[in-house]
């Protein structure tokens, strides 16, 4: 079974993270499948919006596949590592993207939402960046995008404590656009996408490029990514990072050493 399902519905391309048994966590197959779907959407004039969602009822996306990482496997798309997590978080396109958050979206799941233009969430969804509790940090754009999209002190509390927020709170803060019953998430996202596709497609795409500073398929955020990459390389070599992984596996509280 494919780890990513892709379906075109009129002018909307629906991308489904299809690993419900693994909480739709991201491995290399997911990153390649999503990234290729975005390339298709960008190239096809008949596709005017993209909806990203997860299979199943529990999770939108649980972030990186930790089992794959523990085996030493890359979770990035082969040959397109620059697309970053899920082939999505550093892969901007001119077509509007909508996250249909069907369940919890912690860590990388929240980073997918941050990388989307719009978001519709189930009333059961939760959002957060818990990486600091594991000896890491949100290195797929979360550490710099959350303060851009939320009030700074609220974002800093989420980043530094790792505590999650509910869908209702995310709506209040402007992280998402709609909260609906879980069974209605995809339909609500498709309705929002459909409203967008009623407008002139080239004007919509130009509006997005100007709003986001998107030029030649790139955003003006290279400095933030460069710092993120330097910091995660350093943090990944610490004893605390290893302790965080072991403590998580052993279901105990970590013993941090600040080294």
Rounded distance, CA 219 to CA 226, Å?
13
Who's near 108: CB < 8 A, 6+ residues apart? 25, 26, 61, 62, 63, 64, 85, 86, 89, 140
Q: How far apart are CA 252 and CA 259, in angstroms?
A: 19
The answer to whether 39 is a known catalytic residue is: no
The single residue of 111, 157, 163, 231 carrying the catalytic annotation is 111
Of 178, 195, 170, which Cα lies nearest the Cα of 106?
170
Which secondary-structure segment (H or E) carries 146?
Answer: helix 142-149
* DSSP H/E element including 241: helix 239-250
- Residue 36 catalytic? no
Distances (CA, A) of 42 to 20, 97, 129, 137, 228: 27, 11, 29, 31, 27
Q: Which of 57, 131, 172, 198 is catalytic?
A: 131
Burial category of 4 from C-beta neighbours within 10 Å (exposed 0-12, middle 13-18, buried 19 and up)? buried
Q: What is the chain's percent helix, strand, coil content, to nearest 5? A: 45, 15, 35
Which residues are catalytic, by number? Answer: 111, 131
């Amino acid at each position: 079974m494919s780890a990513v399902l892709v379906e075109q519905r009129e002018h909307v391309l629906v991308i489904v993270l299809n690993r419900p048994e693994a909480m739709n966590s991201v491995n290399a197959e997911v990153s390649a499948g999503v990234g290729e779907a975005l390339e298709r959407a960008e190239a096809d004039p008949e596709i005017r919006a993209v909806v990203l969602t997860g299979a199943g009822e529990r999770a939108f996306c649980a972030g990186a596949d930790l089992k794959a990482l523990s085996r030493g496997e890359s979770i990035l798309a082969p040959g397109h590592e620059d697309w970053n997590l899920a082939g999505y978080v550093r892969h901007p396109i001119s077509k509007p993207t909508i996250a249909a958050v069907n369940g919890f979206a912690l860590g990388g799941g929240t980073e997918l939402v941050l990388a989307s233009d719009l978001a519709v969430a189930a009333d059961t969804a939760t959002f957060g960046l818990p990486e600091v509790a594991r000896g890491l940090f949100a290195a797929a754009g979360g550490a710099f995008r959350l303060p851009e999209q939320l009030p700074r002190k609220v974002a800093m509390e989420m980043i530094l404590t790792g505590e999650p927020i509910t869908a209702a709170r995310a709506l209040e803060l402007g992280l998402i656009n709609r909260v609906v019953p879980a069974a209605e998430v995809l339909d609500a996202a498709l309705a929002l996408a459909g409203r967008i596709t009623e407008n002139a497609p080239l004007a919509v795409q130009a509006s997005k490029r100007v709003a986001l500073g998107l030029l030649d398929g790139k955003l003006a955020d290279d400095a933030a990514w460069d710092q993120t990459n330097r910091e995660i390389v350093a943090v990944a070599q610490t004893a605390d990072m290893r302790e965080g992984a072991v403590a998580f596996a052993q279901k105990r509280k970590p013993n941090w050493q600040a080294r």
